[in-house]
Structure 1
């Protein structure tokens, strides 16, 4: 039986995989105005609006019917479904996919435990297993196990958006701006954690690399993906240069993607992130 792989629109699928993955979009709200993520609004437009807006945008999960449409198509084509969704701790997307699955056989919904580029590398690994000819239950079992090893570590360029989102006080935000403090965050098992802070981008880049090693190092036999928020990739390219010793013996080229609304809303433009499977 063929397998249909389904994700939500917060997953940063690389271009070479887009025709193999079915996407169910979230909705992004700027005030009263709504946009279908990835359809009515792309990443560049999102960040332009984010910079111009006085209030943070919000997102709304797909409803169960959005997932049911995909399941129905799969049923017509005699396909099994694997859904890899935003963590239940961060969104109701997983719940919507699960509710819709109750009316169908051969539909498996996985809480990714990650976001954006972290979910993307999990999807790439699932496609690798599918290409090996594994049956749907085996693929699901393997992904449920491997998702525990996915880590995102990110360096945030500005404290402004963490403050707007109510995660930092005004005084801490002002002091951070004066001292050029860059927070380092991790996303592990659906939790976003502050794991350190550095003064300036150079020290921040060094800390990012140190935290990758501290997490257990990178398993280079599995997908690795970098990402950035905002319109410019300049800070990411600087990080890639600064961290070259970390990658140069194991990867021919580092792939990277823009990161959209879920992380971008809280991190703001200028954040850089690394998603990998720990050893």
Structure 2
């Protein structure tokens, strides 16, 4: 039986215990606070990052994984595995996918598949987890790739940020929308379409966030009876628990995976981010 290794990057926001349990290799992007640099997922916990973000006078920046870093990981993993499946964050949001492709092409006769998720955070992290479970069960490479591509087409992402300031500074939302949103206390519900962050709906006032999200999710008609829902938060466990309870009471899903938003996603979303990830039937 061929040994298949699942690799992803740190913005998949996969809980560490789950990544370790399923033997997923996580390659880190980097977040910078001025001259200080930290490996996403490894050097700062989510709580530590958001605490640093709140107290820092410096706007954090991020950098993608280099081809050399991917090549080093690929070569190491190929010593003990027959093939690699590497799933990255959206190529529309980062050059990380291109770096992985360059690394793959630099290793002759290597059996490496690089997949552009066109998603962010645990939206594709949950697909990586499914791939790792299949690899552990001894499924073939083609079976795993087929399932990954099937799921990536069916993941829906909904997330809300506490302030539009970070999306504005990072160029993820236009200045006029950010200013109007902050003045009117409007919080957009954001999603992912064609690999980019897009507005899905809007909510006025913090008290309406959870009911509005549940209302929006309900309108999509998901069947959650056999579905594990992914939830992610930026160091706001109380708000996360509120959303979890609301989804549980309304939809009765099979279960939940709770993820913490890492440094790189958090640098662009800012504090107070909360997200939910679903699979369309």
| TM-score of the aligned structures, taking structure 2 as reference length | 0.88
- Summarize the alignment of residues 14-93 of structure 1 with structure 2, pairs less than 5 Å apart: 14-19=15-20, 20-93=23-96
- Over 3 Å counting, the alpha-carbon distance change for 1:173 and 1:93 in structure 2 is closer
- Residue 180 of structure 1 corresponds to 185
Structure 1 unmatched ranges of 5 or more: none
- Residue 232 of structure 1 corresponds to 236
User: Shift of residue 173 of structure 1?
Assistant: 4.4
1:11, 1:115 within 8 Å by CA — same for their partners in 2? Answer: yes
CA distance in 2, matches of 1:137, 1:261: 33
User: Shift of residue 190 of structure 1?
Assistant: 1.5
- Over 3 Å counting, the alpha-carbon distance change for 1:216 and 1:147 in structure 2 is farther
Which of 197, 204, 215 matches 2:209?
Answer: 204
User: Shift of residue 273 of structure 1?
Assistant: 0.5
- Summarize the alignment of residues 1-279 of structure 1 with structure 2, pairs less than 5 Å apart: 1-19=2-20, 20-102=23-105, 103-104=107-108, 105-166=110-171, 167-169=173-175, 173=178, 175-229=180-234, 231-248=235-252, 250-251=253-254, 253-279=255-281
CA distance in 2, matches of 1:52, 1:257: 23
**Secondary structure, aligned partner of 1:217:** coil
1:125, 1:222 within 8 Å by CA — same for their partners in 2? Answer: no
- Over 3 Å counting, the alpha-carbon distance change for 1:238 and 1:178 in structure 2 is farther
User: Shift of residue 58 of structure 1?
Assistant: 1.5
1:151, 1:278 within 8 Å by CA — same for their partners in 2? Answer: yes
Render the CA deviation track for 1:244-267: whole Å, top value 9, x for unaligned: 33333x33x433121013332232
Structure 2 unmatched ranges of 5 or more: none
CA distance in 2, matches of 1:255, 1:78: 28
1:205, 1:243 within 8 Å by CA — same for their partners in 2? Answer: no
- Over 3 Å counting, the alpha-carbon distance change for 1:44 and 1:108 in structure 2 is same
**Secondary structure, aligned partner of 1:41:** coil
2:122, 2:259 within 8 Å by CA — same for their partners in 1? Answer: yes
1:184, 1:194 within 8 Å by CA — same for their partners in 2? Answer: yes
- Over 3 Å counting, the alpha-carbon distance change for 1:222 and 1:136 in structure 2 is farther
**Secondary structure, aligned partner of 1:154:** strand
- Over 3 Å counting, the alpha-carbon distance change for 1:175 and 1:96 in structure 2 is closer
Render the CA deviation track for 1:155-200: whole Å, top value 9, x for unaligned: 222223233334243x754553454322100124422111111112
Number of aligned positions between the proteins? 275
Render the CA deviation track for 1:120-147: whole Å, top value 9, x for unaligned: 1101211232244221122112211221
CA distance in 1, matches of 2:223, 2:277: 9
Aligned-residue RMSD, C-alpha: 2.2
